Amino acid sequence: MTTEPPPFPVGLLARLSVAKPVEELTELAIDRQHERCVAFCQGKGWTPMRFYQDVDPAYRKPGQARAPRRDDFERALRDIEAGVIRGIVFFKLDRFVRDHGDFERALSVAEKHGAVLASVTEPLDTSTPMGEAVARLLVTFARMESQTIALRVAAQAEQRARLGKPWVGGKRRRPYGYKASTNESGLEILEEEAAIVREIADRLLAGKSVGEVVRWLNEAEIPAPGGGLWARSNLPKLMTNPRLAAKRAYHGEIVADGIWPPILDEDTFERVDRLFAQRKRGGRPPTRWLLPGIVRCGECGGYMETSGDKGHMRYRCLPPRVARTRRVGQEKPGCGRVAIMARPLDDLVSEMVIQRLAGPALVNLERHLASDEHRKIAEQKRRDEEALVEAARQRFVLRDTNGEPMLKPRAYAEVKAELDQRIAEATRILVEDEAVGVLMDLPRLEDDLREVWEAADIERRRQITRAILDRANISSTNRRGAGIDEDRIDPKWKF
């Protein structure tokens, strides 16, 4: 006995632009669309064979080559080509397509295989020229509606931004450091994560590298914002987000103060943001010059950068950059009032370094740590760093039977302060010892020092300079010309 194939098998396609919670379901919800399509098929005597559903936008934005890919829409077309179904039924045409390109593809497949495209709520019959023309007209109106909705949504988003309200909607996860709240802003600080953000900022501003901070986070078993381990790419995205300082950005520009509480004060956020901006531009100083990273503005304390063209290079304290001030809404980095010719300054500081090495530094150069003492300090520093990691785990990760942190905030602050001080002192001694190691290889007589200096490349000269000179502060002057007044230079020697 043979079984007759079902009469006119069709597929039912439903679509939502975004997933909605149950309380927001409308007549366009997936299940209700399918229910209406099933009732339509019963009236036609068609047999629903496949159910398709897409929870994705179907609108092709201006400038995009094609509409967004929808997996079940594509599967329905493949099933027509394979002969599994002989048509597609949908609640409304704009639930099926919102783009002429998608409609033309679907119509081409249907015509080639003798299939139909049918709408429950519209007189759509693609088997006739009039029905096809009506379908194309409906697609045009559907696309126009999408464009209108997009403009309205964009206007609402900009309005929310300029009112200082946080971004809402879509599939974005909870912002790190905050949790949902019933207050007006919809956000309140999640103190456990906020403490981690502040700790990261403290470490970065204390001179720790991104890699060192990431290592600390992972060793302390502190989960990353998305769960799992931290990566070097996590930190810039997290720490340069204006939301941490309660600043509302729209399309990359600060447009208002946020109505939610800040995790970082404005000054701290700006310093961290500027730190990452400097690294992005390339934190490594040019190798042509001696003093980048060493020479500072005597007016504001900022780093001076090389600028100008060949033969007229200067170290300059740069004025506030517009791109950076927009991040925090005020002008702070640099004063722009101090500049000095680069080549004469390098020559003068070179002479000062040679004189220092041949004079007052001689006594200090004889002092160095014994190898056994050096090993003890390094070992104690390592133990203190491990203790700091463990303290962080007890503060941010481990919990007691009541769900409270194993190490309370005040106790953690006291432990951290003591360990930080010991680690900083050990680091200072070890770095100083390394600097002595660099300088101990140098000759003691001035003539011999000059010979070594002249033979050295710029990297070697910088190594020697940084070993003996902490910084050189440059004061402003009203004097013009290439000459340099030595009184403008205030060197801070290490030895």
Model pLDDT for residues 30-71, shown as the tens digit of each residue: 888 888 899 999 888 899 988 998 876 655 555 555 667 888
User: Residue 418 is encoded by which pair of tokens?
Assistant: 């003591």
Query: Would the pLDDT of 464 be above 90?
Result: no
Strand locations in 298-358 (E): 305-307, 314-316, 339-341
User: For position 19, what pLDDT does the model report?
Assistant: 46
The Cα 410–Cα 372 span in angstroms is 36
Q: What is the mean pLDDT of the chain?
A: 76
Range of lowest pLDDT (19-23, 98-102, 135-139, 305-309): 19-23
Which pTM does this prediction carry? Answer: 0.39
Give the residue from 285, 334, 340, 351 showing the smallest Cα distance to 313.
340
Q: Domains in the chain and their CATH numbers? A: 9-161 (3.40.50.1390), 191-283 (3.90.1750.20), 314-326+339-493 (no CATH)
* Residue 137 neighbours by CB distance under 10 Å: 11
Q: Write down the pLDDT at residue 275.
A: 77
For residue 393, pLDDT over 90 is answered with no
Task: Compute the Cα dihedral for 124, 125, 131, 132 and give only its sign.
Answer: positive
pLDDT band at 4 (very low <50, low <70, confident <90, very high): low
How far is it, in rounded angstroms, from Cα 380 to Cα 431? 15
Which pLDDT score is estimated for 329?
A: 34
Residue 489's pLDDT is what? 93
The answer on pLDDT for 112 being more than 70 is yes
Read off the pLDDT of each residue in 426-455 and give the average, rounded to a whole number: 75
Which of 285, 291, 301, 294 has its CA nearest to residue 475?
301
Task: Judge whether 224 and 230 are in contact, CB under 8 Å.
Answer: yes
Q: Could you tell me which residue, 341 or 253, shows the higher pLDDT?
A: 341
How far is 162 from 258, CA to CA, in rounded Å? 9
Residue 1: predicted pLDDT: 45
pLDDT-derived band at 206, boundaries 50, 70, 90: confident
Residue 434 reports pLDDT greater than 90: no
Q: State how far the Cα of 271 lies from the Cα of 332, in Å rounded to an integer.
A: 10
pLDDT of residue 22: 42
DSSP letters for 212-233? HHHHHHHHTTPPPTTSS---TT
End-to-end CA distance of the chain: 103
Burial of 317 (0-12, 13-18, 19+ CB in 10 A): buried
Average pLDDT over residues 126-148: 60
Q: Cβ(78)–Cβ(72) under 8 Å?
A: no
Q: How many residues does the chain have?
A: 495
d(Cα 479, Cα 34) in Å, to the nearest integer?
83
- The model's pLDDT over 336-385, given as tens digits with 9 standing for 90+, comes to 888 999 999 999 999 999 988 887 665 555 554 445 666 778 788 888 88
